[in-house]
Structure 1
């Protein structure tokens, strides 16, 4: 089963996005790495690495990130992973809320890593108005 990691500068945002995603896909493995180790605003590559490792059940991990430096921290965290795991951890180029919900639902259906990642990417094109 593809795991999901939500990375945000804010613990509250990461946990809120997780809460929304799990409303649609109860029980799916979704992990968060929000804020810094001391609870402040920011990102922590070590916390992100730990979330990636926890989310991995053997089928890969899709990571959602909120802002530019979170993306950089995800890259640093991937560099700290075992190379085999790093190969199947994918950062989605998608909006964090819509992408996380779509990816979590897709993953909960047992879809492949590639399909979950594509579903997250497709969330970029969601129309919100008629």
Structure 2
């Protein structure tokens, strides 16, 4: 079976990330999913190091998609990607983190590529 696209959740809140994981785990259990939520001390905030670790855990040959909750989380995700020089990793820009990551996990489970999933998510864009 082909490797599946990984899902990475970047949130300022560790409990939010855990909740999203619990929701996805209710229907899918074999899609790579990693969390980069909260600071190193699990306080409110984000950590470039945690994002790098999450990318390394979830992004295999099929790539990964990063979902984020707030603008600074996106900025840190971009920096983490630059430091790792990651390829085939995309940030789901302006996509609701809960709904988007759930749909991406379902589509990854169906064997869709990063680009196919991003294309599907475009319909969900929110104006920020």
Say whether 1:103 aligns with 2:104: yes
Segment drifting more, 69-78 vs 23-32: 23-32
Deviation at 1:20, TM superposition (A): 0.9
Provide the residue aligned with 2:36 in structure 1: 33
TM-score of the aligned structures, taking structure 2 as reference length: 0.89
Residues 89-100 of structure 1 correspond to what in structure 2 (within 5 A)? 89-93=89-93, 94-100=95-101
Give 5+ residue unaligned stretches, structure 1.
126-130
Which of 57, 61, 68 matches 1:58?
61
Give the number of aligned pairs.
122
CA distance in 2, matches of 1:124, 1:14: 20
Shift of 1:80: 1.2
SS at match of 2:105: helix
Tell me what 1:120 maps to.
Answer: 121
Q: CA deviation at 1:115?
A: 1.0
Unaligned runs of 5+ in 2: none
More helix by share: 1
CA–CA distance in 2 between the matches of 1:27 and 1:4?
Answer: 11
Does residue 73 in structure 1 map to residue 79 in structure 2?
Answer: no
Q: What is the alpha-carbon root mean square deviation over aligned residues?
A: 1.3
Deviation at 1:53, TM superposition (A): 1.0
In structure 1, the residue corresponding to 2:125 is in which secondary structure?
helix
Residue in structure 2 matched with residue 128 of structure 1 by the alignment: none
Give structure 1 regions of 4+ aligned residues with deviation exceeding 3 angstroms: none
SS in 2 for 1:27: coil
* CA distances 1:28-85 after superposition (whole Å, capped 9, x unpaired): 211100000011000001100110111012011100000010011101111111x3xx
